[in-house]
Each structure stands twice: as C-alpha cells, then as structure tokens.
Amino acid sequence: MIDLLKLRVANFVVMHKIWNNPKLKLFSQTKYKDVYKEKFKTKKVKQFNGVVFLLTEHHLDIIIKPHYYYNSYKHNSDDFTIYESVYVITKILDDLDIYEEINHFRVINIEFGLNFIVPLYDKDLIGFTEYWKRTQGLTDSQYKYSKKFSSTDANGRLHFYKVLKFYCKGIQENAVCSPDTLRFEIKSMQFKYISKVLGIENVGDLLDLNVYDRMAKEILTSVKELLIIDNNIDVENTNLSDRELKKLKEYLNPYTWYKTLQLNDRSAFTDKKKRYFKLLNKMGVNIHTKLYNVISDKINYLINHTPEIKHHTPTYSTMNNFIETPTYSTINIVGIYGCEPIKRCIITGLDISFQQDCSIMLSKKGVEYYFKFYPNIYEKLVQRHLTPKWKNTSQNKKFEEIAHNIRDTKRNMEVKLNRLYQEQQFRLFDFNIFTQ
C-alpha cells in the first residue's frame, strides 16, 4: 500500500550516528536510476540496500520505496499488503539497529495507493474522471493517461497537503501488468496532513495497524468524491424518460459542470451531482459505485490477505524470524479488521491446532509431528531454530532444542518490544492476548 516514505532526522547526534554506520555505502545513481530519477540537492548521498540517505548541514533525510525494496528494486504490479509494508519497515529498522532512535525519524513525505482493474473499463476511465470535489483534474504532462487532483495557489501551483493521482499503470509499465491496470494514489508532503489525518509522526507509527486503516479510509473517501463523466453509457438504449434522458445528456457534457462552478451558489455543483448519480443508479450503470466497490474489495484484500513473505538474505534476527515464516502468521492482528486469531504458532506461523488448546507456540510434540508428516517444513525449522551445537545430537534432543529456541525467540522479541513501545501503547505484535 505504501509507495514512498521520506523520513527526516534533525537530532545532530542521531543523524551522524546513522550516517557513519559502516553498512551505508556510496549511492549508485546507475544501479537505481529506474527508481530514483530525481536529482538530489546534496552531494552527500549514501544508500543501504536501495534506501537513500541524504545528509545536509541541519538534517538527515531518508528515502524509502517499500514496494521496490520488497521486490529487490524491480518494477512490478504485485499487490503490496499492509503486512508486507510492516515487514519492510521492520527489516530496515532491524538491519540498521536503530530501534532506540525510532522517535527521531519524522515522516515528512508519504505516498500510498493500490492497483486494480475495473471490468469493461480501461485507460479511458482516467479521461472520464473530471473532478475531485470541486477541483478539476490536471493532465500529468509526464505520462499518458494520468491525472492529478489538488487545490492550487494563486499561481496555479499544486498544494501538497493532499494530492490525488489517478493513472493507467498498464500504459506506464506495460511489461509487468495488464494494459487495463489502473492505479489510485494519495501523496502528501505536509506534516499537518500526515500527523493529523493519518496519525503518523515517526516511522514507528507505521507498525501500528490503525494507521493503515486510516489510509484505507482516506482512499475510499477520496474515491467517493470523484465525478466521472461516463462516455461508455449507451444513451440510445436506456430505461429513462425523455426528460430524464435529456438531463443525462446534459450531465455527460463537461461544459455543464464547468458552467455550474461559475455560479455563486456553492451547493449547485453538489446538487447536480446527486441528480446525475440518481439517473445512473436508475439505469444500473453507475461507474462511481462500480469503481468504489472494486477499490473497496482490493483494500479488504490488502488488509486481510496474509501472503508468504518473500525471503531475502536469511537472518537470525528475532524480528525477522517472526515475520519471515514458512506460512505467514495471521495472528496478533488485533481487532480493527475483525480478524479472528487462528490456531497458529506466534513465532513460526505453523498450524498447531493439534496441540493443547492453551498452546501459543510450537511444542516439542509439534516439532516431532512436522518431522513425521511434513519433512520439508521440518527442515526449515532445523535451519531456523536449531543451532550448530545440536546438529549431531539425537533426534529427540533436536525436537527439544528447536522448541526451546522458539520459546527464546518469543522472549527476545518481548524484550525488544518493551523497549520500543510505551505502556498502554497499541502494539502490532502483542503476545499478551494469547495468555489472558
């Protein structure tokens, strides 16, 4: 869901601690030219696995493109779920060991959105979409079939409090997706919107599921405010009366809406829009409803779908060990989306429904079960949770040590989370709900 994050660190000690991290390397404009096309305003540029660090006299800026990072900085049109977003952010924080400084990473720029296909509509839907609220869309001069919507200043420049972008991804990136693939995005470069509307102040807030709920609501609200002049409608074959048909043809004329905006009555535009929607509903061809439902369905998928995380370089990091699992765990996702905890191990994500009802982690008997019936999964458990010290011991001892290390992983994660979160603060990964 998240396309881009720009973080800013203004604390002098913290910014130079990060800048001097030996893991940061000189930035390669050649290697990442398809991702970072803009020219940076400072010559002090470093990168870590494609995450860019820009050092100035007063602050350190960090640019992250989570979806690209997750896909090894290659273009694709895959759906990027909230769990994959959390995974990427967690992995970067963990790899750079910067949890203790997390409150210093202020989010000053964010882009989020989704891909979708509207049946029977293609790139022309971009051209049909004329207004967001009372603001007419501006054609994006850089790309074909692309529009931006935002209020403007006296000189016609966009305000960056909230900018909508609606474009045909299938045209821009036809090598990786269907030509009918569309994309809807929201971008903000103002902290007031990011903090007040989305509830994001620092990068740690992006580990909170409520933030993604707000992003989803922002997208759906914005889509609901669009005005689409649907030229796909067959006006010669309708169930409307002659008078209604005349009105419909009037509403399908872009000049009607422009002229309405020139009136002194600010409610005229909204009232006319309601009458237009009423006629579309009577015909059963309201593209606004269709678009809203398609995007709503995709959002539900991005929120509730729990994919198997792509494996990058294997690591024994406790946070990564929790997230990089053979089958992605859906538990610990609490409340706001109505997801019921399922009977899976909270560390490995594996099914433990055959264990005692009070179990929350894979036990010694559970490890033995996978050894007998799912040897391929057992081998992954060995790789992840059995230290070299016990490789040549008895099979029974291996079962015991794997289960023991899984329990240790949980304890280590609790220690890290207790450092990261204040008491009573919402936690994305909350173990306590399983022992209450």
Q: pLDDT (tens digit, 9 = 90+) per residue, 313-331?
A: 333 223 333 333 333 333 2
Would you state the pLDDT for residue 418? 58
- Contact in structure between 369 and 325 (CB atoms under 8 Å): no
Confidence of residue 75 (pLDDT cuts 50, 70, 90): low
State pLDDT tens for residues 243-295. Answer: 999 999 999 999 999 999 999 998 999 999 999 999 999 999 999 999 999 99
Would you state the pLDDT for residue 328? 31
Cα→Cα distances 136→147, 254, 307, Å: 10, 10, 38
Q: In a 10 Å sphere around its CB, with 0-12 CB exposed, 13-18 middle and 19+ buried, how is residue 43 labelled?
A: exposed
Task: Please say whether the dihedral angle defined by the alpha carbons of residues 389, 395, 396 and 401, taken in this order, is positive or negative.
Answer: positive
Q: How far apart are CA 178 and CA 366, in angstroms?
A: 43
Would you state the pLDDT for residue 410? 65
Residue 376 predicted with pLDDT over 50: yes
Residue 65 predicted with pLDDT over 70: yes
Higher pLDDT among residues 306 and 254, named by residue: 254
H-only helix segments in 363-394: 364-373, 375-385
H-only helix segments in 29-143: 66-70, 82-96, 124-128
CA angle 39, 153, 112 (to 5 degrees): 55
Of 51, 112, 52, give the one whose Cα is nearest residue 85.
112
Q: What percent of the chain has pLDDT over 90?
A: 44
Sheet holding 51-55, edge to edge: 25-26, 45-48, 51-55, 60-64, 2-9, 106-116, 182-188, 163-168, 146-149, 138-139
Would you state the pLDDT for residue 312? 43
What is the average pLDDT across 119-125?
92
Would you state the pLDDT for residue 314? 30
Distance of CA 102 to the CA centre of its chain: 20
What is the average pLDDT across 401-427?
66
